Each structure stands twice: as structure tokens, then as C-alpha cells.
Amino acid sequence: MKNLLYILIILISAIFISCDSTNKPAKGFEDEIIVVADSVEYEAIAGSLQSVFEKEIFTPQPEKLFTLKRINASQIDNNKRTKNMIIAAPLNSGSRTSTYIQAIVDSAVESRLASDSVFIVYKNDLWAKNQMVALISAQSIEELNKKILSNSENLLYTFQKKSDERLFSNLYNPTYEKKDIEGKFLRDYGWVIYVQADFVVALDKPEDKFIWLRRSPGSEMERWIFIHWIDNATPDYLTQDSIKVIRDRLTKKFYQTSDDASYVVVAADNFVVKEVNFNGRYALFTQGLWELNIKGMGGPFVNYFFYDEELRRIYMIDGSVYAPKYYKRNLIQQMDVTLQSFRTKTELPEERIEELLEAIKD
């Protein structure tokens, strides 16, 4: 009788899913994913989910990309506005989560979940604005684990991309945007990057093709961005070794201590480079650690290195964090999202170009 009542409740809830308001924004921790799963089934798939989402990054302390928190299917209503959610169970297992999945998908989707090893249902803004919900199911626990692991890159990318979108919407505020500085970059150098109100131009070196933006200099939570470009270049520059060589050359010259006694270099450990799509361009993305050449201080950095074929120009854009007393996972993500706002003039609409050029004060 209790099971029948539970099924009826699920069916009624499912009817109103499409009618549920999504006007309210998603809430919760940016780096937390709520996993809806029965306790026994979760124990069987936890290792696979953790290998996908709880990857460690070093800042230089180890921190997780995401943390997983399990809840029961009966708790969904109280967590409908969470930012990140995964609903996972094998089909026809008889568990509450399995019953919930069967109630909210039609027969065609259920068939694909059972037969297609790469099919996962992703729902944007299901119950709240800027929310990501993934529904993962398969014929058995064994097949469910295989599906999670074989889709690991896409699963992680989907949740990271949604997180980046949320973060940028929070960071971007036209009221506090330094459009005059952005306009100067556009006029003088042919590119633009979002400049928040609390960033200052620390160095503008056209002869070195180098711009340095700083936030909260001298504090215990500094953030640095640099943009460097090489004209008359070729794609042959795009190698992992070039990243280290060029970055070290720049930071040795420009990222020095106040007494010029030491300078920033790339740390030997935890230097990870991967190929990515950066605004439609092939790019090398680096996550690494910086440190002083005499040790004593350091932190994480992210770096994009790519070639502009039209201008025959290599770009290196880089964001660093120094915050020894704080967790830095979210801070370095903010840097990454800011770097992704970089655009060349040819990528901007005419009205945006006019807006920025009109904002120049001198």
C-alpha cells in the first residue's frame, strides 16, 4: 500500500514538472552536486561518479572540482532549486529512484536509456534558472557504471560549462565594468577582455606586447591577469614546451617582488596541458602552479594559448591567484571564466565595438 501511494505521488509530481516555475534562480554551492540515488545503489556507483567529478586539483593544496552529496528520491522536492543534480539508478530495480525515473520519462526515452550506452538525459533550467540536471540510467548496475565512466568527459564538461555560465552571469555587471579600459585595449591592440571595477592596469607595455591587470594588490587575496601576443607567428608555437618558456620569460621580467630579488616561475609539479576549443579556436589550456624562484610563496594559474589565423598572431592569456589563507578552487574558476571573455575585434558585433570606443576617456 505504501509503495502504491509513493508511486501515485511520483506520478502527480511528474505531471507538474513541466509546469514548475523556473523563474527563481538555482541555489547552493557552485562546486556541489546533489546525487539522487538509493543508498545501496549509490554505494555501487559512488566510485564511478567520484572518479568523474571529485578529481583533485592542486592550488597547491589538493581541492576537488566537485563534491557529491547523496539524497533519497523522497527529498527531491526540498532540493529542486539546487544548482547541480544527478538522478541515477538502474531501470526496473524496484528502488524508489528507479521508480521515479520510470515515472518522469516516456517509453522512447526509457528505451534509449536501456539500449544506448552513451545516452544521458540533460535538463537545463528544469526547476530553476541556471540549473543542470542529469538523468543517468541503464539496464543494470554494471551497465550504469559503464555508462558513467564511458561518458566521463562529457559529464564533467556539461556540469563545468553550466557552472562557468552561472559564474560569469554573477561576475558580469555592466554598471561596474571598466569599459574605458576595454575600449583602449580594443582601439590600441584589437582585442578586449572583461575588466571588473576592482581590477587595475598594473602594466601596459606595447613594446613587449604585454598587459597586466591586478586585483587587490598587496592583499591576502590577489588575482592577476596578463595578455601577451606575438605577431607574424605560426601555429608551430603551440607546444607544451612553448607555454613554459614564454610564461617564464614574461614572469621573470614582469612578475617580480618589490625589491627585484625574486620572480615568478612555473612550478615543476602539477603542470597539466590539454587541447580545448576556445571561442571556436584550437587552443592549449594549462592548469598549473606558480612559485617564486626562491620558493616561499605560490598559487594556481590557468592559461590559454592559441593562434589567430586571420591576424597571424599567437595569444597567451593567463590568470593567477595568490590567496594563502583561502580555498582557491572557486577563485581560480573565476579567473578562468574571466579569461574566456577574451574576444578579438573581428568577433565583436559593431554595436559592441561602438559602445567600447565611445567609452574611452582620453
Whether the Cβ atoms of residue 158 and residue 152 lie closer than 8 Å to each other? no
The three-class DSSP label of residue 219 is coil
**Domain 2-170 - what CATH class?**
alpha beta
Cα gap 212→165, rounded to integer Å: 25
Q: 7 pLDDT exceeds 90?
A: no
Q: Phi and psi at residue 293, in whole multiples of 5°?
A: -65, -15
Q: What is the arithmetic mean of pLDDT over 66-70?
A: 97
The pairing of strands 264-266 and 222-230 is: unpaired
> In angstroms, what CA-CA distances link 57 with 66, 271, 291?
10, 10, 16
Q: 174 pLDDT exceeds 90?
A: no
Q: Which residue has the higher pLDDT, 4 or 100?
A: 100
Instruction: Please compute, for residue 200, the number of CA atoms within 13 A of its CA located in the half-sphere on the CB side.
Output: 6
Q: 180: buried, middle or exposed (CB in 10 Å: 19+, 13-18, 0-12)?
A: middle
Q: Which residue has the higher pLDDT, 112 or 10?
A: 112
Q: Which of 42, 131, 51, 53 is nearest to 90 (CA)?
A: 42
The whole-model pTM stands at 0.87
Where do the H-state alpha helices sit in the chain? 2-15, 39-53, 96-104, 107-115, 141-150, 152-171, 179-189, 240-254, 329-339, 350-358
C-alpha cell at 2: 505504501
What pLDDT was estimated at residue 211?
98
Whether the Cβ atoms of residue 289 and residue 60 lie closer than 8 Å to each other? yes
Orientation of helix 107-115 relative to helix 96-104, angle to 10°: 120
What pLDDT was estimated at residue 297?
86
Cα gap 187→190, rounded to integer Å: 6
pLDDT-derived band at 17 (thresholds 50, 70, 90) equals: very low
* Intrachain domains 2-170 and 177-358 with the same fold: no
Cα gap 38→210, rounded to integer Å: 54
pLDDT-derived band at 22 (thresholds 50, 70, 90) equals: low
pLDDT-derived band at 4 (thresholds 50, 70, 90) equals: very low
Q: Summarize pLDDT for 202-243 with one digit per residue, the tens.
A: 999 999 999 999 998 878 899 999 999 999 999 999 999 999
Whether the Cβ atoms of residue 167 and residue 62 lie closer than 8 Å to each other? no
What pLDDT was estimated at residue 143?
96
Q: 332 pLDDT exceeds 50?
A: yes
C-alpha cell at 220: 591576502
> In angstroms, what CA-CA distances link 123 with 28, 107, 166, 286, 344?
18, 18, 15, 30, 32
What pLDDT was estimated at residue 2?
44
Q: 16 pLDDT exceeds 50?
A: no
Q: Summarize pLDDT for 91-141 with one digit per residue, the tens.
A: 989 999 999 999 999 999 999 999 999 999 999 999 999 999 999 999 999
Mean pLDDT of the chain: 91
What pLDDT was estimated at residue 11?
46
Q: What is the arithmetic mean of pLDDT over 334-362?
A: 94
Whether the Cβ atoms of residue 177 and residue 195 lie closer than 8 Å to each other? yes
Q: 323 pLDDT exceeds 50?
A: yes
Percentage of the chain surpassing pLDDT 90? 81
Least confident of 30-34, 169-173, 178-182: 169-173
Q: What DSSP element (H or E) covers 288? A: strand 281-292
Q: 81 pLDDT exceeds 60?
A: yes
Across 63-83, b (16+ Cβ under 10 Å) vs e yields bebbebebbebeebeeebbbb
The three-class DSSP label of residue 83 is coil
Q: 5 pLDDT exceeds 80?
A: no
Q: Which of 348, 342, 343, 338 is nearest to 164 (CA)?
A: 338
Domain ranges of the chain: 2-170, 177-358
Q: Which of 59, 61, 62, 29 is nearest to 302 (CA)?
A: 59
Q: Summarize pLDDT for 285-314 with one digit per residue, the tens.
A: 999 999 999 877 899 999 999 999 999 999
pLDDT-derived band at 12 (thresholds 50, 70, 90) equals: very low
Whether the Cβ atoms of residue 165 and residue 130 lie closer than 8 Å to each other? yes
The pairing of strands 67-71 and 32-36 is: parallel
Distance of CA 256 to the CA centre of its chain: 29
Instruction: Give 50's strand partners.
Output: none
**Domain 177-358 - what CATH class?**
alpha beta
